[in-house]
Structure 1
Amino acid sequence: MAELPVHPSSDPAVRPQSDLDLGRLDHNPPGLSLRALIAEDFATHDRDPFSQGFWAIAVHRFGNWRMGVRVGILRAPLSFLYRVLAKANEWFGGIDIKYTVKVGRRVRIWHHGGMTLEALEIGDDVHIRQNVTFGLRQHGDARWLKPVIGPGCQIGAGAVIVGPIVVGERSTIGANVVLAQDVPPHSIVTVPKPLIRTLRRA
């Protein structure tokens, strides 16, 4: 059996460096310009200019890129524009993904609607379907106690992944799964088959 991954900040009493840096740095994947990243994301979304998933990722990239502008007065109009665009994604695409989520390369959001993607990190080549939720396990948890989605994972429609857990690389999380524990790499997680009983009439 594959070894369980370890969450980088699972102790609620210890504030990790990633949270100290939250909202202060550009966490776009290194080595690529904003233009190159968006071009890659556009290709990942089949070059479809009407893909809500593409626009959600593009706005996310822009939100991180603006943090590289270190002078606050110069960054302010960029921040205003980012907030407007992010809210438009929520209203018209039903996709909520804050710039503070660390998102890898070639992440694809296949569909739209009812999506709250508040993970700590989403790795490279992750595919996400509609009505997916990433976030805290319960109200009042420290804000860094969110899931890490490993590279190459497939997340099915309606999946709920919460808490300080790690979904190991290249795992498949099936539709409507509610997940609050670590998943080893290369796993398949599905909901149990329904119990069907046939009632006989007297």
Structure 2
Amino acid sequence: MWQTIKSDISAVFDNDPAARSWFEVVFTYSGLHAIWAHRIGHWFYKRRMFTIARIVSQWSRFMTGIEIHPGATIGKRLFIDHGMGVVIGETCEIGDDVILYQGVTLGGTGKEKGKRHPTIGNNVVVGSGAKILGSFLVGENSRIGSNAVVIQEVPSNSTVVTMPAKLVKRDGVRVNRLDHGNLPDPIIDIFQEMQQQINELKRQLEQERVKNGGAREHDAQNV
């Protein structure tokens, strides 16, 4: 247990440049407190003491603003940065060296039974406000952009962004062409398609106007 506690603290120093001392980390980092409380609640949950496990979970939620169901499985060196609003579902599985930022939801999509929450591979980073919903795998070494909504499997070594989430990088190679400094946006794609249709309608109207104007000039000459 001491080794687990030590690795949890080390994860904070590895990922947060603002961390100054062990004393500060141990007593002021809510993400760390939530993880430790979860490890206690999970111990009770595995022994089918569900009510006690949920009491521990709800106390942790009240104290930290982070809700981790005691049934969730968490690997080594999870780092929750700031953490307010993070929700982790009952059947969620999180690998080692994962980073979650504030407002992340690892949830389900309905009232289905059994495995209904995502599995997060090793060394995954989930940006603030991202929602990963459903029972599927987010492959190791992947990056989920802030506010992305992910509803399908993410391959390993990938980057996904926007809502709904779109794959933009895999194995370090861009899947879609991106303008420098911009991220793909499906809403913009729709607007661009509409603009193309409007331009086509304008072109057809102009052709009709020219055609009708020529016909009127021809009739005037005949008169």
Normalising by structure 2, we get a TM-score of 0.63
Structure 1: 5+ residue runs without aligned partners? 1-33, 198-202
For residue 92 of structure 1, give the secondary structure of its aligned residue in structure 2: helix
Instruction: Report if the CA contact (8 A) 2:98-2:125 is conserved.
Output: yes
Q: Deviations over 1:27-56 (max 9, x none)?
A: xxxxxxx23212211221234121111011
Q: What is the RMSD of the two structures over their aligned residues, measured on CA atoms?
A: 2.5
Distance in 1, matches of 2:44 and 2:3, equals 15
Describe the SS at the equivalent of 2:129. coil
Match of 1:155 among 105, 114, 126: 126
Q: Distance in 2 between matches of 1:142 and 1:84?
A: 22
The yes-or-no answer on 1:129 pairing with 2:101 is yes
Q: Is the 8 A contact 1:109 1:128 kept in 2?
A: yes
Aligned partner of 2:9 among 42, 59, 63: 42
Which structure: larger Rg?
2
2:35 paired with 1:51: no
CA separation in 2, counterparts of 1:90 and 1:37?
A: 21
Select 1:179's aligned residue among 150, 153, 164.
150
TM-score, structure 1 normalization: 0.69
Mapping for residues 74-93 of structure 1, pairs under 5 Å: 80=52, 83-93=54-64
d(CA) in 1 for partners of 2:56, 2:10 = 21
**Within 5 A, what are the aligned runs for 1:1-202?**
34-46=1-13, 47=22, 48-49=25-26, 50-66=28-44, 80=52, 83-118=54-89, 120-138=92-110, 140-191=111-162, 192-193=184-185, 195=188
Residues 145 and 66 (structure 1), Cα distance of their counterparts in 2 relative to 1, 3 Å cut: closer
Q: Which moved more, 1:167-176 or 1:113-122?
A: 113-122
Alpha-carbon distance in structure 1 between the residues aligned to 2:120 and 2:64: 22
Structure 1 residues 59 and 111, CA, compared in 2 at 3 Å: closer, same or farther?
Answer: same
Higher helix share: 2
Which structure is higher in RCO with an 8 Å CA cutoff and minimum separation 6? 1
Sort the Cα spacing of 1:102 and 1:176 in 2 relative to 1 into closer, same or farther, 3 A.
Answer: same
